Amino acid sequence: MKNILLCTDGSSFAEGVYRYGAWFAIQFKAQINVLSVTDIRSQKVSSTGNLSGSIGLGASEQLLNELVNLEHKKAKLNNQRAKLILQNAAEVLETEGVEKYSLTNKTGFLVDVFHEFEENSDLIVLGKQGQSAFASGHLGSNVDRIIRSSGKPCLVTPLKFKPIDRILVAYDGSLTSKEILQFLRDFPCFQRLEIHILTVDKNTTDPTAIARINEAQKWLQSAGFESVCSILAGEAEKALTHYISQHNISLLLMGAYGHSRIRHLAIGSTTTQILQSSSIPILLFR
């Protein structure tokens, strides 16, 4: 992992994005690119249409000139705001010990600009809410679109940063789940952390579920990882939430697609619910 892309709009979740991004960059010795996108719609002034017939040609031309000037002023303010956002990002990253980073501001639509930068990134980091979120528990619309469209691992961060020392893998035996285990094996830095693996099934004595969790444990053991493995029965969202709370988990890793109950976390409303309710970062794999 060489390049980490941090998406920011300067909202209250931005500091969490910077600090979690810094944590991963230091573990992986990766470079960070901070991307701030100024929504082009924020610079547009509402059109008045053609008013020459009602207010006269001279008055219409004067109004048009004032609108143009107003757009220029809004663009200037947006540029100043973007500079402050990136300046704050740089300050936080340096405080966290990050040396290699770049700062980028673009004007356009976030999702469109995002895909230009995604190609050269190995990990995407974004807060679960942005400026446009209208309620404290609401998942940002751009966040949802990016998660669904991105082919790269996406780390969705909460408001507050907490040190990562205990991680949970939601394991369902799918190809994506195995890729998560391979991801852990590829980075020895995770051996310092306490690793939990959880399977959710209809019942805890199901032979398939037992075989699945044993498979995961042996896979990690062969690479020198010790893990705590568990099977819980019930709905995936409730089981994961309960386990995270009971074991003070500080990072959840899960696949965006799978072949079991956990699958539904990433493709339906359940995904949105756990992202909204979670107070820990969630690393989603595709």
For the residues of the chain, what is the DSSP string, one character each?
A: --EEEEEE-SSTTHHHHHHHHHHHHHHHT-EEEEEEEEEGGGGPPPP----HHHH-HHHHHHHHHHHHHHHHHHHHHHHHHHHHHHHHHHHHHHHTT---EEEEEEEE-HHHHHHHHHTT-SEEEEES--TT--STTPPPHHHHHHHHH--S-EEEE-SS-----EEEEE--SSHHHHHHHHHHHH-GGGGGSEEEEEEEES-TT-HHHHHHHHHHHHHHHTTT--EEEEEEES-HHHHHHHHHHHTT--EEEEESS-SSGGGHHHHSHHHHHHHHH-SS-EEEE-
Determine the pLDDT at residue 104: 95
Determine the pLDDT at residue 244: 95
Query: What's 234's DSSP letter?
Result: S
| Higher-confidence position of 215 and 54 | 215
Determine the pLDDT at residue 45: 61
User: For the chain, which domains are there?
Assistant: 3-42+77-157 (3.40.50.620), 166-284 (3.40.50.620)
Paired with 35 in beta bridges are 7, 104
Please tell me the pTM assigned to this model: 0.84
> What is the C-alpha radius of gyration for the chain, rounded to an integer number of angstroms?
23
Torsion angle of C-alpha atoms 92, 98, 102, 105, degrees rounded to 10: -20
Among 54-58, 79-83, 91-95, 97-101, the range scoring the smallest mean pLDDT is 54-58
Determine the pLDDT at residue 145: 80
Determine the pLDDT at residue 90: 97
Determine the pLDDT at residue 114: 87
Does residue 269 surpass a pLDDT of 60? no
- CA-nearest of 249, 240, 185, 178 to 212 is 178
Contacts of 123 (CB under 8 A, 6+ apart): 1, 3, 4, 5, 24, 30, 152, 153, 154, 155
| Higher-confidence position of 153 and 260 | 153
Among 33-47, 55-69, 130-144, the range scoring the smallest mean pLDDT is 130-144
Determine the pLDDT at residue 44: 64
Among 8-17, 45-54, 212-221, 272-281, the range scoring the smallest mean pLDDT is 45-54
What is the share, in percent, of the chain residues with pLDDT greater than 90? 52
